[in-house]
Structure 1
Amino acid sequence: MEKILHAVDTALPASLERLFAFLRIPSISAQPAHAGDCRKAAEWARETLAGMGFEARLSETRGHPGVIAHNFSAGPDAPHVLFYGHYDVQPADPLELWNSDPFDPQLVEGPRGPRIVARGAVDDKGQVVSFLEAVRAHLAVNGKLPVRLTVLLEGEEENGSPSLAELLTNERDNLRADFVLVADTNMWNFETPAITASLRGLAAIDVRLHGPSRDLHSGLFGGIALNPIFALTHILGQLKDDQGRIQLPGFYDNIAPVSAAQEAAWAGLGFDVNAFLGDVGLHQPAGEADQIPLAQLWARPTAELNGIYGGYQGDGSKTVIPAHATAKLTFRLVAGQDPVKVLDAFERFVTDRLPKDARAEFTRGGAAPGYSLDPNAPFLKAAQAALQAEYGIQPALIGSGASIPVVEAFKTILGLDTLLAGFGLDDDCIHSPNEKFELACFHRGTRAHARLLAAFAG
């Protein structure tokens, strides 16, 4: 291992040259004017992988092409890892807020030492190249890899991945592996690596409550006619109790409780809930009263009202009883919950409480289940050991309150679990002007990837 790590260290200047060449390509997937640049970035990745000895090709879709590459030099019995990343980037606007050209990468001094500044520096070109440089070091020292490796690079992640399902379906047989490794996430902090072991899913729904056949004069009909806004808010006000628990029947069925060991591990992360909420002008956690703050954020489901409207919305006063009222809701779900069953339960919850003369109309949106890694998965144990070896500290096993659609796609289409272990930081300004990747994070991330590849081999 030491020879491989030495190869990573001595190749750092060349690694940066390769990364900077990649960063100079303005592969903005959301803007049709940059379609040619997206293809150029895909070709750059294909040629880079081919130059490292991979069988590499583009996989065409209705949108931007994917890049698929294989290196099976480890032999047929070695574990098989599928690495995922993306070569597309966000638009750089507003350009006037950048301190330099977003597609002319710079190495700039910062509080933690030099940092790479460019669009895509950390999301995700820098993290992709960090992995590829670890692969390059293994090949340079040993002439082969410790695992069978397939690389999949997508070109539309920053535009909602509209062709990802097509790509995975078309290439299902070529993407068989034991698990997926994704480096598009963050460390817990500058000193502490992190593995994202759980994600919340999502179920979205709109409800429109209908009352009178038209808007009514509130003087002529007030007091005798049903007001849909009152009716809807009365029903939605019953969705949570005073302890923050959601009142849909069966909502918490099949959810594993947060273990005492997990609570203790999260307590050791030093999460400052007062600072976290204080940054947005709040002070008091509003979730389930019997759950610690990080459990509320990562491990427990939610019901959120995202919007509510009805009646007159203009300036001044208009004395009407509206014909209908509408609310938009999303449920953040955890492993064990079925999004369809949750939406079914919500529809019954509303329908059972409708006053006479009211009817409800529902429109369902996106639905994706929550995700949780098996804490005893061998590749997870291997990753924990590899990261601890590099950083000298046990990696934080964290959750994400949000959803990552690609993880769901890998599970539903390919049947694969995903290990999320990236090396960005919360202050890297992803999607914002002056996006950066700390040079130390790039370098140590490359060393960590080298250790991960060895650890996955067993």
Structure 2
Amino acid sequence: MANDLSAYFLTNHERHLNELSEWLSIPSISSLSAHKKDTVKGAEWIVRELKRIGMEKVEVYPTQGHPVVYAERLHAKEKPTVLVYGHYDVQPVDPLHLWESDPFKPAIRDNKIYARGATDDKGQTFMHLKVVEALLKEHGELPVNIKFLIEGEEEIGSINLPEFVEKNQELLFTDVIVISDTGMQEKGQPALCYGLRGLAGLQIDVKGAKGDLHSGQFGGAVQNALHALVHLLDSFRNEDGVIQVERFYDKVKDLEDEEKKVHDSLQFSDKELKKELEVNDLAGEKGFSTLERMWVRPTLEINGMWGGYQGEGLKTVLPNEAHAKITCRLVPDQDPDEIIRLLTAHIEAHTPAGVTVAVTVYDKGAPYVAPYDHPAIQAAGRSYEKIYDVPVQYIRRGGTIPIVAEFDQILKKPVVLMGFGLPGENFHAPNEHFHLENFDYGLRVITDYLQELPKALEKSNDLTQKL
């Protein structure tokens, strides 16, 4: 039944890309206050589109930050309900000079669409809208009940969405949650993600003397804030990449043998990764494979550090301030709040004399692992295999989608991570792009999945909602 929409997608291909380009042109950068109005415009665009394709009860819900967009269409009696989650906010674009084209003027080159948000996550969310549009235009009805929940704060940790979900559980009641905000291992090789690492992020601000000091007059007698920061940051890991924060690993479980076999079956190549990234060697926690370090081991990374004189030439000062941002990727059963407490205690214990340190907490998100033998997830795997004509891979991902664990804990329904991005598509980096081959395949995979899901859940007696 999915094939009968292929002609529709082909006929409307150019129109779809033009519509997507409109959305991608909106600089909805949630982390920058200067783009607050643009972020609202990003929400308004998706509202208009949801109404146009035939969704009902399209609403904008304000939060303490950026608004949440909701829509539904619930006419498929005795069929399951699918909640599609996505986000309309995007990352900042710096460094701008590394972009080959304007990040908010979408450009198509080599069958890829280049723009901020092309793959993360406007492009992938957009596919779900086009599938709903196609089904309604060609069949006049949907094979399932559909709800959309599209937020504007994913890139800043989905700060306000958990409260919205908690307060609106009845509105968001569903049988399955579907998210397209992950990716595949390589071109032509579909993959279903069943696990994500969590996140704990903070900023460290080191303060020394009342102001910058002359390095000749005071050097050797007064603490240099940059030296203090370097000493503090160096205390986080040893030479084997093992994190030295006390009790950091207390809740980290070893990988089960069965899952190790799954990893081995992927035939991951360190050599190919080094080639792709243009590095002469890989690094990380000693005693674990690269996939384990990227997917199932926790990390502590310095994301940025600054302080002192950075202009042309030399300025001989003792900087009185230094700053760093760090994030930890977490694995089950690590708790982000507990990790923040452990990090803060470590910082306090390792602060050198002569400076004071302030800690500001930023993004947090719990890790998530799904039961990948769930019928809803297995049905998605079959849809991938039908359209791509190759066996699907079941993988974890090292990144974080903050709301996924919240969905699991609050709504208590399976989360199906149907991603179509590729590792080299530069999400969060200059020249972000989305392969249009996967855009085309993705439309067909999602269509097939929505049509096959009722049968999969009916067989498992997992359908919980009767309309």
TM-score range relative to shorter protein: 0.7 to 0.9
SS at 2:443 equivalent = helix
Contact 2:232 2:352 in 1 (8 A): no
Paired position in structure 1 for 2:59: 58
How has the CA–CA distance of structure 1 residues 295 and 25 changed in structure 2, closer, same or farther, with 3 Å as cutoff? Answer: same
Contact 1:131 1:446 in 2 (8 A): yes
Q: In the TM superposition, what are the counterparts of 1:40-439 in structure 2 within 5 Å?
A: 40-50=45-55, 55-61=56-62, 63=66, 66-75=69-78, 78-86=79-87, 97-98=100-101, 102=105, 110=110, 124=121, 126-128=123-125, 130-132=127-129, 134-135=131-132, 145-154=142-151, 164=161, 168=165, 171-208=168-205, 230=227, 232-308=229-305, 315-316=313-314, 318=316, 320=318, 326-353=323-350, 360-408=357-405, 410-411=407-408, 414=411, 416-426=413-423, 435-438=433-436
Is 1:448 the counterpart of 2:445 in the alignment? yes
Tell me, in whole angstroms, the C-alpha distance in 2 between the residues paired with 1:419 and 1:237: 39
Structure 1 position 209, deviation (Å): 5.2
Q: Extract unaligned runs of 5+ from structure 1.
A: none
How has the CA–CA distance of structure 1 residues 302 and 324 changed in structure 2, closer, same or farther, with 3 Å as cutoff? Answer: same
Tell me, in whole angstroms, the C-alpha distance in 2 between the residues paired with 1:85 and 1:180: 11
Moved more, 363-372 or 285-294: 363-372
Question: TM-score when scaled to structure 2?
Answer: 0.76
Contact 1:45 1:67 in 2 (8 A): no
Q: Extract unaligned runs of 5+ from structure 2.
A: 30-34, 457-467
Tell me, in whole angstroms, the C-alpha distance in 1 between the residues paired with 2:316 and 2:432: 47
1:360-379: CA deviations, max 9, x gaps?
A: 44333332222222334332
SS at 1:289 equivalent = coil
SS at 1:330 equivalent = strand
Contact 2:54 2:136 in 1 (8 A): no
How has the CA–CA distance of structure 1 residues 130 and 8 changed in structure 2, closer, same or farther, with 3 Å as cutoff? Answer: farther
Tell me, in whole angstroms, the C-alpha distance in 1 between the residues paired with 2:40 and 2:2: 37
SS at 1:175 equivalent = coil
- What is the aligned-residue RMSD (CA, Å)? 4.3
Q: Which amino acid in the other structure matches residue 373 of structure 1? A: A
Contact 1:19 1:129 in 2 (8 A): no
Contact 1:8 1:134 in 2 (8 A): no
How has the CA–CA distance of structure 1 residues 260 and 312 changed in structure 2, closer, same or farther, with 3 Å as cutoff? Answer: same
Tell me, in whole angstroms, the C-alpha distance in 2 between the residues paired with 1:331 and 1:158: 16
Tell me, in whole angstroms, the C-alpha distance in 2 between the residues paired with 1:119 and 1:362: 31
Structure 1 position 450, deviation (Å): 2.8
Structure 1 position 130, deviation (Å): 3.7
Tell me, in whole angstroms, the C-alpha distance in 1 between the residues paired with 2:112 and 2:142: 30
SS at 1:131 equivalent = helix
Structure 1 position 407, deviation (Å): 2.8
Q: Which amino acid in the other structure matches residue 243 of structure 2? A: I
| Pair member with larger Rg | 1
Tell me, in whole angstroms, the C-alpha distance in 2 between the residues paired with 1:123 and 1:359: 38
Moved more, 445-454 or 358-367: 358-367
Tell me, in whole angstroms, the C-alpha distance in 2 between the residues paired with 1:395 and 1:229: 49
Contact 2:295 2:397 in 1 (8 A): yes
Q: Which amino acid in the other structure matches residue 71 of structure 1? A: L
Contact 1:98 1:433 in 2 (8 A): yes
Tell me, in whole angstroms, the C-alpha distance in 2 between the residues paired with 1:224 and 1:394: 65
How has the CA–CA distance of structure 1 residues 72 and 361 changed in structure 2, closer, same or farther, with 3 Å as cutoff? Answer: same
Structure 1 position 250, deviation (Å): 1.8
Contact 2:200 2:340 in 1 (8 A): yes
How has the CA–CA distance of structure 1 residues 381 and 128 changed in structure 2, closer, same or farther, with 3 Å as cutoff? Answer: same
Structure 1 position 119, deviation (Å): 7.8
Q: Which amino acid in the other structure matches residue 79 of structure 1? A: P
Structure 1 position 162, deviation (Å): 7.3
